[in-house]
Structure formats: structure tokens, C-alpha cells
Structure 1
Amino acid sequence: MSYYKGFEVDDRLYGVIRHMNGVEKYRDDLHKQQVAWDYLSVLGQLAKLDTELSQTRKEFTQLTGTLLNQLGLELLNKSVRQYAFKAQVAINIMIRNLFERTADIGFIATDDDVCAYLKQLESDPDSEVLNEKRQYLLDRFEQYVAKYSVYHNIILLDTQGNVVLQLDQHNPVTQSKDPLIMESLHTENAYVENFRYSDLLPNEQNSLIYSYRVVSPEDGHALGVICLCFKFKNECDGIFAGLLSDDQLAIVTLLNKEGKVIASSSDKVALNARFKPELSQDYSVVNYEGVEYFCCTRQTDGFQGYHGSGWLGFVMVPLRKIFGQQSNVAIDLPAALLDSVMQGALFNAEIKNIPVSASQIQRELNRLVWNGNVQQATDKSSSDAVVSKVLLSEIKHTGVLTKHIFENSIADIQKTVIASVLQGSMNMAALAIDIMDRNLYERANDCRWWALTTTFRSLMSKQALQTQDVGEIQSVLHYINSLYTVYGNIIVFDTQGRVIAVSNPQEQSLQGQVLTEPWVRKALALRSAQDYVVSDFVTTPLYNALPSYIYAAAIHAIEDEKVLGGIGIVFDAAPQFLAMLQDVLPHGKLDREQEVQLDYSFAVYTDADKSVIASTHKRFSAGDLLDISDDFFALTHGQSMCKVVTFHHKNYAVGCSKSAGYREYKGTADHYQQEVFAFVLIYLGEETQAVQQPASLKPVYVQHSMHNSIYNLQLATFYVGNNWLALSANQVASAIQVDTHLPISGGEQDIVAGYLMYRGNSLALVHTSMLLGGAKPVNQKITEVVVVKIDSEYIGLVVDALGEMMDVAMEQIRPVGTEISAYNQIVKSLVLSSSQNPQEPMLQIIDVEQLSYCLQETAEA
């Protein structure tokens, strides 16, 4: 722990708490209250008023420290969650994207046309056939980039580094000495990845290039090297824009493993700037170019074993501004729901205890003022009576101000915590839908590109396929599926929908069967290599009678574009969607409260009809209905929202985001449009029944119509259940606090709750509720007792709360009716009120003689 301006705070706050204006404001306000209590304590002693404030002041100081510490921690945690999430998403999304590229290079390096062109170049570089193949291959490269729009160039080299073909005719390179050429020719890995300057792209400072050797299918000797040039800056800009759409302060960067900036969302942080990332801490403070930044660094979680080149997500926010941001999430919960959430797993024990401690301090202050007023009312001879009365009024006023500050600060903590979790749920939902869109973008690309495979097109142009032809098609499908493992099966079929070959050896029985699902007919009707179709997300025999998407494209003849059949790729939906949803839920090192939250939190994909596509919750399977608020399904494309809802008797922070597509996939020009929603539900606790606060515990003010009456009766009031009761002030000794469950003796009719010592004598504590005609309380925790003087003896009345001291005119007092006195024998009179609200309780005055009589009768019985 560290000290900050006289208060003990968590070490994590050291260095940042001075920038938390909200904490500073409450610290100043509470310090003023501390000074006020010290001042009032001294005045109380001078006025000989028996109002000892030392314990209250001590508890006040302790609570102030706890409150400021928790407020600071929650502001810090909110910022860490927000910006660590952005850092994590930045690197994870990039790594997911690059994982797909490692499969692309492996497949295109074995492309028939690429191999044929390099073989022709090797055997007869000056032939006319080579020129024809060259143009055909350029067309193929253009079609490839039209589908996989994440690439801006494809470069083909011979084994000596000579550029023999490239898509970008404006790239001024004809020969390269880049070491990646030799590495690609000799590596034992499935791909080569390089991010640095390369003479292959001399106009770029750094280039991300995936390369691999092209070998002869006959004898396996190397023919050359093919390079896929990734749109690195373009992809970074897209990721950064999505992360910063609602944030004008943050700067998102990617660092290489040496800490050098390789991509930045702002020109305030230059490329190649160096940082020392702190992976062991959840945040760090860095001084860069004379500005202090709050920084979060995260390394990739990896994707299917791929971790890239050790890059890091690094987010920077100006420290002096970070804690002054207004939340974009509005918190306006009904009181009952807020109380229910407060009791749940979202808030730690320290935060939950703050309102309890504040309430305890307020009760102590109320008792202190109450007893002071009783003392002042019964000690008429005191020359300090006027001073005492003024002082008590000031203590009460200061207590109200203190209560107000506590309530506001507690509310701010609650709002900070809830807003943070709500924002997190919405961010996670947006990430979940983004991951889905990006993943399915690749599926739309795959089916269209594989439909252009020369082996398929040439063999399917034959009048009749031989067994050897089918085997060759199947061999290509097996190879594709070994690289792209997200598919349950890849199927090639003819113009009748009859299955020619499959990639999955366990699905060989499909060969020869005719496919009748609607997507087959639609695929065979496609006339462009850019077009594709997607099945509805429904159960299909092609996926073990489970629901999935099947992406399909037509296979066209090379010469005349005649439709020869089609290819359908069966997405392995169940594990893939589950993995996407699991990836967005929080994980890693969690405290106990977070673990409870995570145990009951879950994520879901649905369609526009609320039908579940996938879920991490075992209760919701594909095809089930997610019966949640219609508000979420009114979102527009790419829009997100969050709110607290009660769902299946549990409270959740629910974030929802609607699909916006990725690049051209589901874009405005794409004929394929399906509304998909991602939900993330963060568990906040069990639904609890709203506890109706007794009217007696609400502040009640009786409006007297006394005009110029003389006030000659002073009443000390208190509450028992829904009853508002009073005793004449001179009949009350004091109010005392009892902090325990007292031992209960006797049976159900025993009116005595227990005993304690008071002024050297045993004091019986009486269940006041039973004197009022109620039943004996069960397991009542006694905290407040009003000590009544009856002659020379004392009796303790167990009450729920203390009320006001009131001066009442005699003409306002009326005897009770017989209907009340029949069951409530200790109340003999009422105080009239001018209020027209029948729900407000009447002030009932207890008759001490009748109280004594009832207790004596009970004792004798």
C-alpha cells in the first residue's frame, strides 16, 4: 500500500491517482467534512454536551480511505479493461488474419498453372506457348486478388531471383537478392513469413510477404518461388478504425518483438519508435515526446498454434486525460435491479461493505443527535440549552452533508463498475461478430478460388470421367482440406448435382449421390467466377445432420465458361463457431468474483429470428430460441448496444452487435446478406425479489397546522415495522446500539428478547412489535434499543430505527379509537397530520403507564 495525501491507497494507484479528478473531488469534500467533525467534537466538549464523536470520526476516516481507494481502483480497472482489450484485439485479429495467409501460400504454390508456367520457362523460355501461359497466369492472379482482397501483389521468381511474372506492373523490380528466396527454396516449414524492407517491393518501407517454393509435380525439384504481398497497412488501418470508432484519445500500435513500432493509428507515434513493453504488468506509464501515456501491452493468444512473429498490441492514452472521459454507456437502472446487481458477483466484498459502513455511520450520527436532543430536552436547567440545541442541529446538518457525499461517491463506484462491464460486454460482442465476418469472408473466397482449379475444370470438361480422373480430383480436395482445416468436407459435383468426389475419407459414401438441397441449384446457375451462394443455417446430411453453412460456387469450363458443375465447402460450424465465441470471453488470471462471473457468463450467435447459431452455454443449442429483448434485434448493420437485463432469473450485462461484413463480404455490392447477431452475457448475480422498504424507514415529515399554537410536548420518535411511534422526551433515558443476536429464551409468546447491562443493572429488551399486536420476530438481529424510564426502573424497547425529535402542540393530539386500542394496548393517542396521503403512517404516542401495565401482566402470565 502507498500513501496519497494522507490516505492509504493500493500500490497500483501510485502515479495515476493524481490524474483522477473524481477521486480528488471526493477527497476534498470528505476532508472538509473531517475538519467539520473535528470542530464539532471540540464544540460539543465545550458545551458539555454528551455527544462523543471519537468513534464516529474514526469510522468516518476509515471509510473515507476505503471509499477513495475503491473509487480509484475501479476507475483504473475500467481503463485497464478498456485499453487492454483494444491491445489484445489489435494483435489477435491480425494474427487470425495472418493464419489464413499461411494456408494461402501453401495452396497457391502448388497451383497447376503456376507450375506449368515455370516448367515451360525452364524448358523453353522463348516459345510462343510461354506468352500464352503468361497472360493466362496473370488473369489467374487478378482473379485471385479479386477474391482474396487482402493482397496487393503476387510475384513469381525463378530459382535465381529473377522476376518472371508479377501482378503489379508498376512495381519496379526485375531481379531480387532478398534472402527469403533461398529460405523459401530450402525451408522445411510449410511457409516463409517476412516483415521488413525487401527489394521485391522497393517503394515500401516494410513489407509483409508470404513465400514458398514451387516444385515440379513429376520429380519434386524446385522451379521457383512465389510471393504473396499482404496489404499490411490497409489491414492495420481497418483494425485500428474499428477499435477507435468511439475513442478520440487512444493511439493503437503494433510492436515487433524488439519493441519497435511497425504500425500506428496516429502520426503522433512514428513508425520505428521504440518502447519497452511491460508484459508482466496490466498497465504502465510511459513518457514519450514529453507526454505521459497510460499504456497497455498484450501479446497474442495465438490461433490454432500460430503465433506469428512475436508482435504485440500496444495502446497509449494521454495520462492526464484518460480518467476524465465520460462513459458512452448510460447507467439508469431501476432501484430494485441495482440493489439486486449490488448483491451479485460483480462487486467485491470491499465495495459491498461501503454502503453498509456508511449506513452504520449514519445510524450512529442519528443516535448521537437523538440522544443529544433527549439530553437537552430533559435538562431544562442547563444554561447551555440553546447552544446545545444549535450544536445538535449543526451536527445533524453535517451528517446529512456527509451522507450525501457518501451516497454520491458510492453511486459513482457503482456506475463505474457497471459501465465498465457493460462496455466490456458490448466490445466482446462486437469482436465476436467481427471474428465471424472475417472468418466467413475467407470461406466465400475459398469456394470461388477453388472452383477455378485447372485440374477440376479440365477433367470435368471430359465427356465421361474415368476412375483415375475422379481419384485426381479427390487428391486435390484432400490436399486443400489438409491446409484449410475449418471444413468438415469439400464436395465437387456435376451439373445434375451428382457427387463426383469428396475431401473427407469418412464421407466416401456420398460419391454418386445426387444433392437436392436448394444451394446446389443456385450454385449451378451462377455465371460469374466472382459469384457464390451460401446455404441457410439449417441441418444437413452433409454435416452429420447438424446445422451449418455450405459455401458453393460454379465450376466453369476454361474455354467457354460453360457450367461444368460446382464445388461446395461444408463449414465445420460447431467447433469453429464455439471457438470464436470462447475466444471473446474473458480468461486468464481472474479473482474470485471474476471467476464466479465467468462461470455463468456466455456468448451466443443468433439470426434475426432469435434462432441460435452457436452458444457457449449448454442450455442453448443450435436452432434453439434465445428469448431476449426485441430491442437488440432492432440494431442496424454494424451497430452495437448494451444494457442490464434479467434473463432466466439471473441478472446479466448484455452486449449485442449486428454483423457489418468484412471488406466486400456482405458489403453493399454483395448479393449475400444475412442478419447475424452476437451476444455476450456477463453474469451479474441472481435475480432477487425487491424488498419493500417499510414506510417507517423512509423519511417522514408530518405537516402540522399549528399556526400560533404553543408547543408544550416534546416527542422522541422511532420506528417499529410500519409503525411510527413516540414517547415523551422526558420518559426516555437514551438510545443504545446492540451489535449482536442476543440469546432468546422462552417460547413463542416470550416478549423478552434478551438482557444486557445498562448503568450497572440488567436491562430487559422487549419485542416492541409484540406489544403492538404483532408476532414474535424470528432471528431478529437487534441493533437499536430505546431505553425507557418507568419510575426508577429501565426497560429496553427493540426498534428498527430512530426518528426525529418533535415539538407538538397539545391540540394536535387525539385519543385513539377503540378499533386500534383493541389490539394495540400501549398506544393511547395520535398526532394529527395535514397530509392527504393515506399511505403515510400516523405518529402514535406510547403511554408509559399502559406500557408498564402490559409488561407486568405479561410477566405475571
Structure 2
Amino acid sequence: MKNAADMADFNTLLSYMPDVGQCARALVDLNATWRMIEASSRLQCSDDTALILPTLGAARSGFSALEESLVKSLVAEKLSTALAVLSTKAQYVIDIIVRNLYERTADVGFLATDAALCAFVAGIDGEAGAIRQRLDDYRSKYTVYDDIVLLGADGRVLLRLDPAGSGGDGPAFVGDALLADAMQSDTHVEVFRHSALQPHKRQALIYGRRMLHPQTGAVAGVLCLCFDFEREMAGIFDTHRALDERYNMLLLDGEQRVIASADPAWIATGARVPVNHENTPRLQMYCGRLHLVRTVAARGYQGYAGPRGWCGQVMMPLDVAFHERGSRPAVALAPDLVRSLAGLSQSFCPPLHAIRLAADTVRRTVWNGQVMGSRHGQPGGRLDAIVELVGDVGARSNALFEEAGNDLSATAIGSGLDRTAFTAELMADLLERNLYERANDCRWWALSPLLRATLAQGRPGEAALGAVAGMLAYINGLYTVYSRIVVYGADGRILAESVRDAGDDASTGMTIDDGTLQRVLGLRTPQDYHVTPFAPSMLYRGRPAWIYHAAVRDPSDASKVVGGIGLVFDAAAELGAMLDDGLGRAGGVACFVDREGRVLASTAASLPAGAPLDIDPALLALARGESSARLVAHAGEVAMLGCCAARGYREFKTSDGYRDDVLAVVLRSHGPLRRTAQNESLGSGAAIAASRASATGAAVPGAGQRKYATFTVGGQLHAIAAEQVREACPGSAVAPVSAGARPEHRGMLALRNGDEIASYIWVADLAQMLGMAPAAAEGGQVIVVRHGEQSLGMLVETLDTVAAFADDDVIPAPLSWDGEDGLVRRVIRTATQLVPLVDAHSLRRMLDTGQPG
């Protein structure tokens, strides 16, 4: 937002964010109140009120800066959160379809070499009915095609599965440029446009490849696979777009035109829409409404980038972009994890971190003012009145920051959980779509006339087996997701194979395990297949993998199984690639697991295949197609976890009798799990004030009363006599120094007199001195304690308040005795608790190492 246009966008965005607007107005009001207090104090011109003027000036100056920067940060964070969601979904639209179409390029390359089909197109052999049955067998396995067409070299339709697609039942000639292009190319041709092959469609996605004469090698015709594009895109949108979402998912061509829309009534197919390839936060106008837009190109898969110019896009109207969705589905958000994540706001959500710093500044300003008033003001005097007013405005400021922080934290956490769950959903979908193809491949290749004829011989010769091996090598070159393809006889002995990795040992002559062989021999129809459980296999270097098997049947008696074919899925490489692609630049750890929580593959070396994943059993029991997200503690860190149980794809795992549930899990860690006393004690000032009032009945000290400054250490409230305190400074101002220091020394703090450095003091970690875990300087506070003519710094977690207590309520600490040099020799008794009182003299003696200047 560095120019006028950006500022205009900022003002427009702010008008659609009512919660941020409310915060902005409250900041303006508070800023005015701080100015009023400062002006009133200056008008009074008394010695005691003059002492607090620098503190009030700092508070007023800080609010003036925050009034603009904080609101801009809130707007930017909400915008960034919304755009991140749109980017994720746009990337998935294009990546899913590109992965699907990659398989089509392999299909057309293989089917165009089918011996029976080539002989039919060349006019050498084949009866139309048998060829039609063969193509129908193919489509019954690869259900993504709505038509398959065989064209002669002259453009004559020799055979098609869907006669109605040509507008009639009889033969027809097709004058489509696809024919000439395919005949002249030595690879596949891909078109997406209106085509004479499917004239009833506005645009058809067709894959063509030339077919060669089996004897002469001349071009005899063209095979055309017609992809069921509309059904496929509808399935993608139905899976990845919830009905209550406020955005539309689109697929665009290279001319910015919509070729598929999740909601055509909203944005119609064929419409030209604005794009955002640069992923800038600028608003885009479409049909009279401002939109947030994300446009993403395909990342490509196995070297295939998809049809030229295709992009995924998501558009969200600005007027609904920041509406609350209502109650979020019930998710287990443990309060301690939420607080821990909020404590990591600098990396997790920078604007939330700014709010926390602002709250610290206000709290420190008020605390310092109260300390100053306790030293210099007279009971009931002007300074006391100003201090009370400062405390009131400080409380209002804290409440504002707390509300803004909680709202922003909820938004950031909710958005993060949504994205994590969606990422898991994508990975589960990618997996099932990929494995669907594997089940298709094994069944189709089992129908190869060459395989059937060769295995029917019982003891095939070397020449026949060489031909089979050559065919397998050709297949494996097209379908690179397999590490090995094997063909075996009815006795289970492997007769031929193709191995992609030259370093793998040959398996020819080895025998398929008996359990798998019996399952393959028992497959009843060409539609049946068998998948071995995900387990170590000798065919995959002893690593775990799925192996897809289908029965090879006697060409003269389809009821007789003469052997089988096994496709060894390259699980380590392919599953890893899916997980990596799903994570994208967002990072994290992802894995596939089974219902027992056993890892099948992961992106983390610490979670190898076979390792157990520590995960809630309730997530492992998710129904198929369901997903969930939550905050979890994982490996000592607070993380967002998304989990989705794969649902299957088309008939695969839904109606084909095969069931092997897999879950995708995504973990995105945000930092170490730790207690966040700052968040736990935000309301402790009110609590101690209530205790004080109950115990003393007075807000200002009277006879027999003293004021004590309170703070937290290790999440527990502590106190020190207010007259022993000079001021509080931010812990971030501590400069680490180790030379000559004791273990509890955290560094040096510069004490200032105006703009000049007056002296340096040691800062000690009070938590460590009390036997607790060391505190973090970042986000902590340093209390400067006076001891005679010297000062020292005491690192604590948070500042609380300054309260008056009766002398009778200050009692010896339990198990203490006179003369002990312990830091806590007395405690303050309140109506609800005992507050340890830190002794400045003992503190000084424990740190007697000398102090500079």
C-alpha cells in the first residue's frame, strides 16, 4: 500500500471489515483520551504531576503511531489470510486436472500401438463387433472417456463407441485438423476446442495419436480418446468446494476465458474474467463487483504441463469475503495450545504480535505511572487522581487490544486449520485418483493379445517372451509410476519383466507368493483385480509397496486363467511426490497412514514407512471422505494438524469391491510448545485489585499501609515494595553479555536520561534465581530495582498492577526464619492467595558481582 491506488484499496478493504473498523474507531477514541490526560497534567503544572508527563507523552506518542499502523496491519493480515486460501484452492484446481490429463497422454500412446486395433485400422484383420467389444472393455476400465474413435487415414470414421457423438449411427468422414496433425506427429496430439468428432460439445478435449500399419509401418489411421471433461471438472469442484463457500473455482484457458466453473450461474463458461498472475493484493472488478482474485499456473507433473495456457483461478467478491461464516465446526482447540500459539505470534501472525507489543507498552506505561505515583504522590492528591485515570484508560486499552488480538487469533487459527484440512483433502484425492489409474492399467494390459497368446502356450519360447519383455519395456517407458512390471505363468513363475531402475536385480525365474497367486487365479472376470497389502516386497528391493495384479486369460477360453501381470507401484517416489506437491511452498510435514496409524510414506526422515504416527485415534476413525483439523502438541511444538480419510474415486474403492483405507495427514508446526504466562495473566490485575479491596478496603494507602508492585514469574503472581522500583523496561532492550557474569545474568540494560544513556545495569533472570525454568527476554519485562545508590534489573514475565496492602497482611513466608538470605522471606496475604514478596536486599546480595556505571 505504497501509492494512492493502494491507499484507495486500503480504505475500500477497511469498509468491508466491520470488526477492524470498530477497532479503528476505538483506537481514535483512546488516543483522544490519552491526549486529554496529558494536556490536563500539563495544565496542572505541579511538581508531582510534572514527573509523570514523560510517561504520558510516551503513551500518547505510541498511540498516535499505533492508530494507523495497527489498523493497516489488521487489514493486511485479514487480506493475506483470505488470499492464501484462494491461492491454495486455485493451485489444486489446476494441479488435479493436469495430473489426470498426464495419464491420458500415456493412455493414447499405449492404445495406439494395440496390435488388434492397428490391424483393424489397416484393414488387415478384425471384425467390427470384436473391435467394438475391445474398445468397450477398455472404456469400462478407464471410465474417464466418453468416446473412443478410430479414424482412417482419409478421415473416415471406422468405428466409435458413441455413434450419437457424430450426430448419427452410420459411418462419417471427419474433416478435423486433429487428423492431419496426429498423422504428422510422432507423439500425441492434444486439442481442446469445438471438433467435428464431437459436434454436440461446445469444446471437446481429445487426445489423438497416429496408428501404424503392422506390416509396413506406414500411417494407417488415428486413435482418438475423448475425455469426459465436464464430468471430471464437476467432480473436482464437488470434492473441493463446500456449498457454503463464498468463492467460485474456475479453470481458465490462455485467453482468460472460463472453460469450467464450479458455479456456472454465477460465472458462466466462456466468460472472460480478470486474472492475477502476479498474485498481487489488488482488487479486481468483474460484473460490477470488486473481487479478490488468485490465478495459478500448473506446476507440471512428470514433465507434462497440461494444455497450453491453462490456469486455476478462484474469485471471491469483496462484499462477502470477510463475512463471518457463523459457528465453525466443532474442533478441539485446547486452551493451552491456543495460548501457546498466540505466544508465537511474531512468526505465526505478525499483526497479532504487534497487538501484543502494543498491549505490553500500555501495560508498562500504566504500571510505571502507578509506581511513580506511589513514590511521589500524596494520598488523594493530583498525581493519585491522574494515576487512577491512567489506570482506567490503560484497562480500556488492554481490553481493546485483548479483543482485537483474540479476534485476529481466532481468524488466523481458523484460516490455518481450514488450509491444513484442505491440504490433507487434496493429498487424499491425489492418491485415490492416482491409484485408480493403477487398477485400470493392470486389468487392461492383462487383455493384451500378445500376453494371452504367449501364456496360453504353457512353456513359451524365448522369442515369444522377448516380445513380451519388449512390450513391457514400452509400457514402462510411458507409465513411469511403476518401478517394475512382471508377467508370470499359472504356476507363479515370473517369465518376463520390465525394470525401470537398472540397479534393480532381475526377478525373472522367481515365483510370486502363493497367497497372491491364488487370489489372481481366482479372479472371476476381466473387471476384477487384486492389490497386495502395503508391505515390503522382494519386487521392490524389500521396501513396502502396493502391487496391482490382474489375471491373464486363455484367448480361446476366457474362464481359464493362464497367468497374471503385476505392476509394482513406485511407492517411495510417487507417494513422496504427491506429499511434496500437496505441501507446496507452505511447508510442514505430510504423510499417508493406514487405519492403524502406520506410516506408508512421509516427507520427514523421522517418520519412515512402517513407523507409528502419534495421532488421536478419533482421527484414524474418520469416515471415508471426511476431514478434520485441530491444534496439537507434536514433538514438543504446537502444530496445526489436518487429516482426511480418502474417499475413493469414481468406482475405485467405492463399488469395485476393493477396500484399503488410507488417510492423509498434514502437520504444520509453528514453534515450541511453552507456557504463555502473558496470556494467562491478562486479567490478574483485576483479580489482585479485588483481593486488595477485600483485604484492605482502600484503593490508596492510608495509615499502616504500603504500596506493592506486582508481576508474574513462571505464571505465578509476585510482588516487590513499590518504593524500591525505579521503572519497568521491555525485555527486548536487554543486550546479551556473558563476560564475568553469573549463570542467571541475562545481559545489560541501558538506563536513559532523556535521549542519553546514563548508565548500564546487570539484568538477572528472576525465574532462574527462584529455581524455575529460564524466562524468555523477548516478550518479557525488566523491573529496575533500586538498592541504595545502585540499581539492578530483574527479568520477569508480565507486569500486573500496583496495589496498597495493610502491614498486617504482610506475613513471614512459610518455612522461613530470620536472617535467611532467601529471595522470598515474606508473603502478602490476600482474600484468595499468598503473593510471594521479593526482598530487594537479598536480591542484591545474591547478585553481588559488581555493576558497571
Is the structural similarity TM-score above 0.5? yes
TM-score bracket, shorter-length normalisation: 0.7 to 0.9
1:171-570, aligned counterparts within 5 Å? 171=165, 172=167, 174-188=172-186, 190-245=187-242, 247-266=244-263, 267-309=265-307, 310-326=309-325, 328=328, 330=331, 332-335=333-336, 338-339=339-340, 342-343=343-344, 346-347=347-348, 351-352=352-353, 354-372=355-373, 374-377=375-378, 385=381, 389-462=384-457, 464-504=459-499, 509-561=506-558, 562-570=560-568
Tell whether 2:110 aligns with 1:111.
Answer: no
Contact kept in structure 2, 1:279 and 1:298, CA below 8 Å: yes
Cα deviation for residue 541 of structure 1 reads 1.2
Partner in structure 1 of residue 146 of structure 2:
152
Contact 1:345 / 1:684 at 8 angstroms: preserved in 2? no
Q: Tell me by how many angstroms 1:782 deviates.
A: 8.3
The one-letter amino acid paired with 1:222 is V
- AA at the equivalent of 2:139: V
Q: Given the alignment of the two structures, is residue 41 of structure 1 paired with residue 35 of structure 2, yes or no?
A: no
Q: Which residue does the alignment assign to 1:716? A: 707
- Of the three residues 596, 621, 629, the one matched with 1:634 is 621
Q: 1:137 offset after TM fit, Å?
A: 1.1
Structure 1 813/541 Cα, relative in aligned 2: closer, same or farther at 3 Å? Answer: closer
Report the secondary structure of 2:835's partner residue.
coil
What percentage of aligned pairs have identical amino acids? 28
CA shift, 1:60, in A, is 2.1
Contact 2:355 2:405 in 1 (8 A): yes
Q: 2:678 & 2:412 partners in 1: Cα distance?
A: 26
Letter of the structure 1 residue corresponding to residue 404 of structure 2: S
- CA gap of 1:224–1:726, structure 2 versus 1, over 3 A, is closer
Shift of the alpha carbon at 1:697?
11
Asked if 1 retains the 8 angstrom alpha-carbon contact of 2:705 and 2:807, the reply is no
Query: Secondary structure of the residue that 2:578 maps to in structure 1?
Result: helix
* Of 112, 128, 134, the match for 1:140: 134
Offset of residue 548 of structure 1: 1.1
Kept after mapping to 2: 8 A contact 1:80/1:282: no
Residues 667-746 of structure 1: matches in 2 within 5 Å? 667=654, 669-688=655-674, 698-699=684-685, 700=688, 701-702=691-692, 704=694, 712-719=703-710, 732=723, 735-737=726-728
Alignment partners' CA distance in 2, 1:776 and 1:532: 63
* C-alpha distance in 2 between matches for 1:497 and 1:510: 12
Q: How big is each residue's C-alpha offset from its partner over 1:484-504, in whole Å with a ceiling of 9 and x where there is no partner?
A: 111122112121112222123
Do the aligned partners of residues 756 and 776 (structure 1) sit closer, same or farther apart at CA in structure 2, a change above 3 Å counting?
A: farther
Structure 1 position 299, deviation (Å): 0.3
Q: Using a 3 Å threshold, how does the CA distance of structure 1 residues 262 and 750 change in structure 2: closer, same or farther?
A: closer
Structure 2 counterparts to residues 78-97 of structure 1, below 5 A = 78-97=81-100
Superposed, 1:523-672 pairs within 5 Å as 523-561=520-558, 562-587=560-585, 598=587, 601-667=588-654, 669-672=655-658
Matched-pair contact (CA < 8 Å) for 1:695–1:840: no
d(CA) in 2 for partners of 1:473, 1:767: 79
Distance verdict in 2 for CA 1:748–1:501, change over 3 Å:
closer
Maintained 8 Å contact 2:692/2:803: no
- Indicate if the aligned counterparts of 1:284 and 1:296 stay in contact, CA closer than 8 A: no
Q: Trace 1:823-842 onto structure 2 (pairs within 5 A).
A: 823=820, 833=830, 835=831, 837=832, 839-841=833-835
- Any conservation in 2 of the 1:254–1:264 contact (CA below 8 Å)? yes
Summarize deviations over 1:233-273 as a string: whole Å, max 9, x none: 10010111112126421111111111111111112111111
Give 1:69's aligned amino acid: K
Q: TM-score, normalised by structure 2?
A: 0.84
Q: Tell me the SS of whatever aligns to 1:77.
A: helix
Q: Deviations over 1:103-157 (max 9, x none)?
A: 111111111221222233xx6xxxxx86xx1111111121111110100111112
Distance 1:746-1:658 versus aligned 2 partners, 3 A rule? closer
Q: After the TM superposition, which of the residue ranges 712-721 and 523-532 deviates more from structure 2?
A: 712-721
Q: How far apart are the structure 2 equivalents of 1:465 and 1:609?
A: 44
Q: Deviations over 1:567-586 (max 9, x none)?
A: 11111111111111111122
Between the aligned partners of 2:771 and 2:438, the Cα distance in structure 1 is 71
**Helix, strand or coil at the partner of 1:69:** helix
Question: 1:704–1:832: 8 Å Cα contact kept in structure 2?
Answer: no
Which secondary structure does the structure 2 equivalent of 1:680 belong to?
A: strand
Q: Is the 8 A contact 1:19 1:323 kept in 2?
A: yes
Compared CA separation, residues 91 and 42, structure 1 to 2 (3 A): same
The alpha carbon displacement at 1:471 in A equals: 2.2
Equivalent residues of 2:624, 2:647 under 8 A apart = yes
Once the two structures are superposed, residues 196-226 of structure 1 have per-residue CA deviations (whole angstroms, 9 ceiling, x without a partner) of 0011111111100111122111111122212
**1:205 maps to amino acid:** R
Residue 126 of structure 1 aligns with which residue?
none
**SS of residue matched to 2:283:** strand
What does the per-residue CA deviation read over 1:488-541, in whole Å, with 9 as the maximum and x for residues that have no partner?
Answer: 221121211122221238678433333225222201111111110000111111
2:164 matched residue in structure 1: 170
Is the CA contact 2:283–2:293 (under 8 Å) kept in the aligned structure 1? yes
Residues 827 and 836 of structure 2 are in contact (CA less than 8 Å); yes or no, is this contact kept in structure 1?
yes
Alignment partners' CA distance in 2, 1:777 and 1:763: 29
Q: Provide the rounded CA distance (Å) in 2 between the counterparts of 1:457 and 1:101.
A: 25
| TM-score, structure 1 normalization | 0.84
For 2:523, what is the secondary structure of its paired residue? coil
Alpha-carbon distance, 1:77 to partner? 1.8
The offset of 1:630, in angstroms, is 2.3
Q: Structure 2 vs 1, CA of residues 776 and 416 (structure 1 numbering), >3 Å: closer, same or farther?
A: closer
Report the Cα offset of residue 333 of structure 1: 3.9
Query: Displacement of 1:440 after TM fit?
Result: 0.5
1:764 and 1:276 map into 2 onto residues whose CA distance is: 59
Contact 2:637 2:673 in 1 (8 A): yes
Report deviation, 1:16. 3.0
SS of 1:164 mapped into structure 2: strand
Q: 1:255 to 1:744 in 2, by over 3 A?
A: closer
Distance of 1:280 and 1:455 partners within structure 2: 52
| Equivalent-residue separation in structure 2 for 1:182 and 1:20 (angstroms) | 57
Q: Report the Cα offset of residue 325 of structure 1.
A: 3.5
Indicate how the Cα distance of structure 1 residues 805 and 425 shifts in structure 2: closer, same or farther if over 3 A, else same: closer
Structure 2 contact 77–351 (Cα < 8 Å) conserved: no
Alignment RMSD (CA, Å):
4.4
CA distance in 2, matches of 1:396, 1:501: 85
Task: Return 5+ residue gaps in structure 1 as ranges.
Answer: 124-128, 588-593
Cα separation, 1, equivalents of 2:21 and 2:68: 12
Judged with a 3 Å threshold, the aligned counterparts in structure 2 of structure 1 residues 494 and 388 are, in CA distance, closer, same or farther, namely same
1:170 positional shift = 2.1
Corresponding residue pairs, total: 812
Matched, 1:77 2:80: yes
Structure 2: how far apart are the matches of 1:532 and 1:71? Answer: 55
> How far is the alpha carbon of 1:550 from its aligned partner?
0.7
Partner in structure 2 of residue 591 of structure 1: none
Report the CA distance between 1:636 and its aligned residue. Answer: 1.2
Larger Rg: 1
| 1:181 Cα offset (Å) | 0.8
* Closer/same/farther in 2, CA of residues 247 and 163 from structure 1, 3 Å limit: same
